[in-house]
Structure 1
């Protein structure tokens, strides 16, 4: 069979994957905290029909003669650029201006501590990360995401706001008259007596390679061996951004760019189908030689 036919098939498969990623980007154009994907290709191994030869005293060098065997999927990257900020005026909507990820946890019952690899000292606790800052208060006054995952923060002294040992969920009492979140993540509230108290400080996870995080659905990311987890630190410290209350970071998908890439992928797919059609016509001519 012709090598061009198999090369065309590989191109069709790759452009189909590219269209799948583009479709997912467009579907999530208005998803809070969504990070778009990007597909890259690379060539497959080439069949060498003549090797390279170095120059001699009487003859110049000869380049290798190789026939490519098609393309293959190089990578599907997550692009962690900053999404645009949408003002909502909801005090429980948080946007991160800069680097960092919100830390979410399930199975937490009290204070936890993080290990060097991002795991916790409690095996029952499951940790995930997100850039989507649409949070709510549950029945107990804890700040949670739409799935009920607790937003993790530094434990602080309720009177001074100074950090104490460990991390935990951030809870605002039922009798609080109002609450607010500062840019450094400190959550304050006014109690029933009118005194200002501190509920906790939002923690942000820092990754040297956020593109290495694994998407887990529901706006969640999971740590991976290549994410470059550094630490869970305070906002505005150690290279992470600040917290903007009353706003959401929306998707970083650019529709004009996605439609352009979609047209390119469509034409590439069509061109590869033409290769297969042309190769089939050549094979038909070979079959008809006997007649």
Structure 2
């Protein structure tokens, strides 16, 4: 009966973690470029009461008898599906239609993001809200020249301007980073990701619309891929699972109480 109590405790811990993941998803339902999390469980080691026996000439085989010892955390995944696109009519808002992530650099460190809300700093560099530079396919910053009249972003990431003489001019091309396993990226906060040993970086400076990279859509933002209906359904199942595990603990405690009362 004590095994059932500890199994119930392990289930409670896991469902609490699941509620934490769900709460984070719901909190970021309107966060640009956010990718929802998903949790999976695994059963723990089982205690073998009796082992399996193969068939003999006089009798058939016998299956093993095992008692499970509860559940454990299997994984917490980042689900990198496409979020819906919101039109903002702001020239420095970019969305990626397809695979890839924007490349940002600051103080020698590389960051990656799907959040495309960018700005111009005092030197006319394109930066994100934290001041990290947006990187082009040449590995450098993307800077608009002084005195330009207007600019636009093409679907292949090319940044075009109308210079002060009124002539069109290309001043850079936005790069996209491609990963074989985007779920392996590490979240760093502020809508940023860091490369990891399991992300499988293919090319940090890929041109959009080349080798599987997505297209750049200006005047738009990619929103979160969180589905509120799905999250609330998962919240209900997590709550009921938590309650069921507390009932296991309560029942085990009542049986222990009965044993204690055998001798008065």
Alignment TM-score > 0.5, same fold: yes
Q: CA deviation at 1:167?
A: 1.4
Shift of 1:174: 3.2
Quote the offset at 1:196 in angstroms: 1.1
Describe the superposition over 1:191-217 as per-residue Cα deviations: whole angstroms up to 9, x where unpaired. 111011111000000001000000000
Matched, 1:153 2:136: yes
In the other structure, the counterpart of 2:57 is 57
Question: How many residue pairs align between the two structures?
Answer: 263
Distance 1:240 1:43 in 2: 39
Taking the aligned partners of 1:129 and 1:173, their CA distance within structure 2 comes to 25
DSSP 3-state at the match of 1:127: strand
Deviation sequence 1:78-100 (CA, Å, 0-9, x none): 00000000000101000000000
Cα distance in 1 between the residues matched to 2:139 and 2:186: 24
Q: State the alpha-carbon separation in 1 of the partners of residues 135 and 53 from structure 2.
A: 63
Partner of 1:35: 35
Q: Is residue 188 from structure 1 mapped to residue 160 from structure 2 by the alignment? A: yes
**Which residue is equivalent to 1:126?**
109
Q: Give the match for residue 231 of structure 2.
A: 258
2:181 is aligned to 209
For 1:262 and 1:61, the matched residues in 2 are separated by 44
3-state SS in 2 of match to 1:251: coil
1:222 equivalent to 2:194? Answer: yes
Match of 1:136 among 109, 119, 132: 119
- The aligned residue for residue 80 of structure 1 is 80
Counterpart Cα distance in 2 of 1:240 and 1:44: 41
1:270 to 243, 254, 258: 243
What stretches of structure 2 of length at least 5 have no aligned partner? Answer: none
- Among 172, 175, 181, the alignment partner of 2:144 is 172
Query: 2: CA distance between counterparts of 1:248 and 1:287?
Result: 64
**Distance (Å, rounded) in 2 between the aligned partners of 1:75 and 1:276:** 25
Give the structure-2-normalised TM-score.
0.99
Rounded to whole Å, the distance in 2 between the matches of 1:198 and 1:150 is 18
Q: CA RMSD in A?
A: 0.7
Residues 210-261 of structure 1 show CA distances to partners (whole Å, capped at 9, x for unaligned) of 0000000000000001001001210000111000000000000000000000
What secondary structure is seen at the aligned counterpart in 2 of 1:54?
Answer: coil
CA–CA separation in structure 2 for the residues paired with 1:255 and 1:267: 18
2:210 to 211, 230, 237: 237
Residues of 1 paired with 2:233 and 2:80: CA distance? 20
- Using the alignment, how far apart are the partners of 1:167 and 1:71 within structure 2? 47
